[in-house]
Amino acid sequence: MTGFSALPVAEEGGEDYEDSTRWAGVPRILGPKWAQLPILTVGLLGVQLFWSVEMSYASPYLLSLGMSKSAMAVVFVAGPLSGLVMQPLIGVLADNCTSRLGRRRPYMIGGVILCSCAMLLLGYTRPIAAIFTGYDNAANDRWTIALAVLAVYIIDFAINAVQAVDRAILVDTLPPTAQASGNAWAARMLGIGSVVGFFAGNVDLPSYFTWLGSNQLGVLSVIVIFWLVLVHAITVTSVKERILLKRTYVQSLFREFKDIFANIFRLPRTIKQIFTVQFFAWIGWFPVMFYTSVYIGDLYKRSAAQAHIEPDDAEGTRLGARALFYMGAVSLFANVVLPAFVAETASKSRSGTPLPVLKKPSRFVVPARMKVHLATLWAASHVVFAACMLGTFFVDSVAGGTLLVAVTGFSWAITQWAPFSLLGEAILLEPAGPTDASIRLADVRASEERQRFLVAGDSDDEEEIGVHRRRSTDNSRGSLDRSRSGFADDDIGNGFAHDEHGNGFAHDGNGNGFAHDDSFTHESGNAGGGLAAKAGIILGIHNLFIVIPQFIVTGVSSIIFAIFDPDQSVLHGGHGGIPMHNSTTTEDGTDAAASGDLAFRSLAYRAEEEDDAGGSNSVVYIFRLAGFSAVIAAVLCWRLARDLRHR
């Protein structure tokens, strides 16, 4: 769950806190088994298209309206601000939603509607302003700027809400053994959205859609709205959630947020390790997201100066855009291929009996000796990324810089997928905390009846199954590593099911369960179930560890530019709630595959190039600092992988 709720703490005096929660129905995905994971994650494709358009065109559009760069920098504070505020807020509200549609879908529908209205406002700001002021006057200009800024803020906040519930419904619906597969598909959807955004941005759309007007942004806004609505309509109609019934105890919103910060340091060790790795990893990633095009452009200008050729700004921009596209292409390819190289760790029962795992027939099977633990692969991605950043010490050509940027696509692919998978499994399987009094959590899995999920039924008739009660427990431990299954064999073709304990079931072609995952039994799953009941808050805290580095990078890069390039303006505005994932397109429509912020790097390049033609290399200092931060992330991630492998 990417939505958030409170982690109830023990009452003063040590009395047990009982948070009884009642559920109706079972989570499942309608449709053929091969389409179930794509259906569950297709919403992120629409989110990615939205990020691409907003980040590729909003900035130059605001500049064209006469807004100053400093003012625009303030506007794009909306990005990290929305990620910092919106995802935790929506999480708290969604975790406590008792709608008959489920906890996530109502906010998904509302967010999509709000996003659509805001994108239309951004695409047709001047005509809308003219309704009140008329054309060709100062009032129209002022209203146009004001409405455009309003649209940017609404888009940032609303798309973060949609993204939060898109991630949440994935964790809600899939059992622990399918978290890796689901997040791999989520990363693929983000990559596909980036590639589609690249081609759409390079096509002269007004010539094909004359009835939508002559404005490229306006036509794009209509197209991405159509796809955003379509993909989320698929998810809303095909994914069935459990329904949260009225609770006997409901905390105030203030208490919910208070608990978010009170419990940051009381989370299980594995989750805190993931957060720490993400913090240092994103200190490294944000400079790449902001300044890759600037870096390539600087290399081009330096080489042109050495050859006594007048540098062409448009050529520098094109070269930077091309490097970003290569990065996106590598990322998409890696997202498709790498899951096959993740080791399957056989789940074991408490008696030590290995869990049989269904092997789907495949023409290509990766030998077991070539497979690695997911956390180990994540650590390797940090090493590759650090090598690319530190490689700027030795590269002084456009071709070399482009190669470094392209190789980072490997690391970015894993960043889009591995931490979410590891965190999703930890949420479902880790104990509530190191001490009994630290965090009291409601058990998400009851012990009386079994639930099946991902049943390919076509109606809601079965949703009346099972109203069960959960009570807080915190006296046992689940194993994260034991219940991880590989992606290669079951991320498309095999159905998944879980009972109310979280026990995983693999299905044969007829949907018959045959392998029971005893590693997530009632005894071992209680504590993890408690975290699952309140998983939104954990993902909200996770988002903080991604957003805060953005503010750090902004301050550090500003100091570096002030020292080495005092006349060069710094313009960037990233989105903190991304996720990670949100690849975007550059101002030329080029795929940037980087969590909703990559596209803006080319916009930063444009702004800085207007003020600087000297081919400075100040960006490399920021990249090198990013490399050292990635080294720290690699060391921490290697320790995490070692801990998980030894469980």
Of the spans 103-107, 293-297, 312-316, 626-630, which averages the highest pLDDT? 626-630
Q: Which of 139-148, 436-445, 560-569 has the highest mean pLDDT?
A: 139-148
Residue 143 pLDDT > 50 = yes
The arrangement of strands across the sheet holding 513-516 comes to 496-498, 504-507, 513-516
What does the block give as tokens for 484?
């991880």
- Residues 6+ away with beta carbon under 8 Å from 317: 293, 297, 587, 588, 602, 605, 606, 609
Is pLDDT above 60 for 306?
Answer: yes
For the beta sheet containing 468-470, the strands, ordered from the edge strand earlier in sequence to the opposite edge, are: 243-244, 21-24, 468-470
Instruction: Please state the rounded mean pLDDT for residues 575-588.
Output: 38
pLDDT-derived band at 172, boundaries 50, 70, 90: confident
* pLDDT value, residue 147: 93
In angstroms, the Cα distances linking 197 to 168, 183, 210, 514 are 24, 21, 20, 42
**Average confidence (pLDDT) over 39-59:** 83
Q: Is the pLDDT of residue 54 over 90?
A: no
For residues 70 and 625, what is the distance between their CA atoms, to the nearest angstrom?
Answer: 25
* Residues 94-105, mean pLDDT to the nearest whole number: 83
| pLDDT tens-digit readout, 363-392 | 567 777 888 899 999 999 999 999 999 999
Share of the chain above pLDDT 90, in %: 20
Domains of the chain, with CATH numbers? 21-244+262-342+371-422+536-645 (1.20.1250.20)
Give the residue with greater pLDDT, 260 vs 179.
179
Q: What pLDDT, in 10s, does the model give residues 489-513?
A: 333 333 344 443 333 333 433 333 3
Average pLDDT of span 437-445:
37
Distance from C-alpha of 478 to C-alpha of 251, rounded to nearest angstrom: 27
Residue 176 pLDDT greater than 50, yes or no: yes
Return the higher-pLDDT residue of 135 and 464.
135
Q: 105: helix, coil or strand?
A: helix
- pLDDT grade for 39, boundaries at 50, 70 and 90: very high
Q: What is the pLDDT of residues 76-91, one digit of tens each?
A: 667 777 777 777 777 7
Confidence of residue 308 (pLDDT cuts 50, 70, 90): low
**Per-residue pLDDT for 163 more than 60?**
yes
Q: Which two tokens stand for residue 331?
A: 């990322």
Helix %, strand %, coil % of the chain (to 5): 60, 5, 35
Note the pLDDT of residue 569.
46
> What does 443-465 look like in DSSP terms, one character per residue?
-SS-SS-----S---SSSGGGGS
Q: Which residue has the higher pLDDT, 534 or 350?
A: 534
Between residues 5 and 532, the one the model is more confident about:
532
CA torsion 57-58-60-63 (nearest 10°) is 160
Q: Which residues pair with 513 in a beta bridge?
A: 507
| More confidently predicted of 283 and 573 | 283
User: Structure pTM?
Assistant: 0.63
Provide the pLDDT confidence category of residue 311 given band limits of 50, 70 and 90.
low
Contact 301/614 with Cβ under 8 angstroms? yes
Burial of residue 138, with CB atoms counted within 10 A of its CB: 0-12 exposed, 13-18 middle, 19 or more buried: exposed
Residue 549 or residue 71, greater confidence? 549
Per-residue confidence at 632, pLDDT binned at 50, 70, 90?
Answer: very high
**116 pLDDT higher than 90:** yes
User: Does residue 199 or residue 354 have the better pLDDT?
Assistant: 199
> Residue 290: is its pLDDT beyond 60?
yes
- How long is the chain? 647
Residue 233 pLDDT > 70: yes
Would you state the pLDDT for residue 536? 64
Of the listed ranges 69-83, 129-143, 156-170, 231-245, the least confidently predicted one is 69-83
Digit-coded pLDDT (tens) for 388-418:
999 999 988 899 999 999 999 999 999 988 9
The predicted pLDDT at position 389 comes to 95
State how far the alpha carbon of 265 is from the alpha carbons of 178, 260, 393, 528, in Å.
Answer: 28, 10, 38, 17
Q: What pLDDT, on a 0 to 100 scale, did the predictor assign at position 531?
A: 64
Buried b or exposed e, range 528-549, using 16+ CB within 10 angstroms: bbbbbbbbbbbbbbbbbbbbbb
